[in-house]
Amino acid sequence: MKRTLFCLYLLTIIACSPAREAIVSSKNVQVKVMSYNIHIGIPPTKPGTTDIDAIVSAIKGQDPDIVALQEVDVNTARTGKINEAAVIAEKLKMNFFFAKAIDHDGGDYGVAILSKFPLSETKIHRLTTIEGTKGEPRVMATAKITLKNGQAIRFASTHLDAQRPATNREKQISEINSISASETLPLIIAGDFNAEPQSTVIGKLDEMFTRTCTECAPTFPVVNPRTTIDFIAYKKTSKIKTLSHSVVPEHYASDHLPVVALLQLDF
């Protein structure tokens, strides 16, 4: 009897020890992130035809943990009145958050976040479009994501203004930096910035964030890509490092190529 009680005592100490706790909540974890402008699920070679399965296949082939989507339709007539964010998430068995930017064609249009992990504290940050520029309203979606080791990060998906003058993009990236400055969680942002690495817009991004690529391969257009406008980056104060970065050669589903990065986060 005494021996049995002693064994139970030892097991209790082991289960509650700091070493055991360290195993449960590991200090570092790897996360694969994707950014993908999905062109509302309409392949460029098939105008008017929605092919969500092609988008799903492109994402599934990379098996990302977290995805930033841009150009997402929800219940619009032009894409068959389907909730693209919900359908893609369901097919991939991922959680999702859709952030509406504008009303369009009887439904909504914006960006989304997909995640294998739980989402909370979801928020839509409305970015400025300067009056008289005829720019389209833009947003940044953010969510708190609790990773498999129990630690939390903040993740953002955005799509900046597409007009040739950089006026709105410069304003929008400044706002993103301002929002990000006070963030205390490790912060990752991904999206279509509609700006090339040498631009003032990406220069401003680089003031706050570290991109997962320095010599970045082109992401647009999908046929003979020649410009790099899709990026993944993390806040400089976050304990994150890039293990790999690649542009996925998926030339059918969208007019953009997906971008994927494997990151290591140290807590």
Per-residue pLDDT of the chain (267 residues), as tens digits, is 445 444 444 444 444 444 433 344 578 999 999 999 999 999 999 999 999 999 999 999 999 999 999 999 999 999 999 999 999 999 999 999 999 999 999 999 999 999 999 999 999 999 999 999 999 999 999 999 999 999 999 999 999 999 999 999 999 999 999 999 999 999 999 999 999 999 999 999 999 999 999 999 999 999 999 999 999 999 999 999 999 999 999 999 999 999 999 999 999
Taking the C-alpha atoms of residue 177 and residue 139, their distance in angstroms, rounded to an integer, is 13
**In the prediction, which pLDDT does 25 show?**
57
**In the prediction, which pLDDT does 144 show?**
98
**In the prediction, which pLDDT does 22 show?**
38
Could you tell me the pTM of the whole model? 0.90
State the DSSP string of the chain: -HHHHHHHHHHHHHHHSHHHHHHHS-SEEEEEEEEEE-GGG--TTSTT---HHHHHHHHHTT--SEEEEEEEEES-GGGTT-BHHHHHHHHHT-EEEEEEEEEETTEEEEEEEEESS-EEEEEEEEEP--TTS-PPPEEEEEEEEE-TTS-EEEEEEEE---SSS-HHHHHHHHHHHHHHHT--S-EEEEEE-S--TTSHHHHHHHHHEEES-SSPPP-BSSSS--B--EEEEEETTS-EEEEEEEE----SS-SS--EEEEEEEE-
**In the prediction, which pLDDT does 184 show?**
97
* All domains in the chain, ordered by first residue: 25-266 (3.60.10.10)
